[in-house]
Chain A
Amino acid sequence: MNDAAAKLLGAGLAMGLGAIGPGVGLGILIGKALEAIARQPEVSGDVRTNMFIGIGVTEAVALYAFVVALILIFVA
Chain B
Amino acid sequence: MKGKRLVWLLVGLAAVAALAFIPGARKESFAVAGEFNLEPIVKLPKLGPFDLSINKAVIYLWLATAIIVVVAIVISRSLEVKPSRFQYAVEALYELARDGIVGSVMKSGKATWFPYVGAVFVFVLVNNLIGLLPLPFGEHHQPSFYAATANLFVTVTLALFTFVFTHYAGIRKNGALRYVKNWAPPTAPPVLKQIIFVIHVVSEVFRLISLSVRLFANMLAGHAILGVFFAMALIFQSYLAAAMLQGGSVLIYLFEIFVAVIQAFIFAILSAVYIGGALDQDH
Same complex: yes
A residues at B contact (CB < 8 Å):
45-46, 49, 52-53, 55-57, 59-60, 63-64, 66-67, 70, 74
Residues on B with C-beta less than 8 A from A49 are 100, 104-105, 269
Does B104 contact A56, Cβ atoms closer than 8 Å?
no
CB distance from A31 to the nearest CB of B (A): 18
Is A63 in contact with B269, judged by CB distance below 8 angstroms?
no
Interface string of B80-100 (1 = CB under 8 A from A): 000000000000000000001
Residue B266 is within 8 A (CB to CB) of chain A in the complex: yes
**CB distance B213 to A67 under 8 Å?**
yes
**A52 CB, nearest partner CB in chain B, Å:** 6
- Using a CB–CB cutoff of 8 Å, the interface residues on chain B facing chain A are 33, 100, 104-105, 210, 213-214, 217-218, 220-221, 262, 265-266, 269-270, 273
Asked if B217 and A52 sit within 8 Å, CB to CB, the answer is no
Residues on A with C-beta less than 8 A from B213 are 60, 63-64, 67
B218/A63 in contact, CB under 8 A: yes
Instruction: Report the bound CA distance from A65 to B282 in whole Å.
Output: 33
In the complex, the answer to whether A46 meets B104 with C-beta atoms within 8 Å is yes
Enumerate chain A residues within 8 angstroms of B265, measured Cβ to Cβ: 52
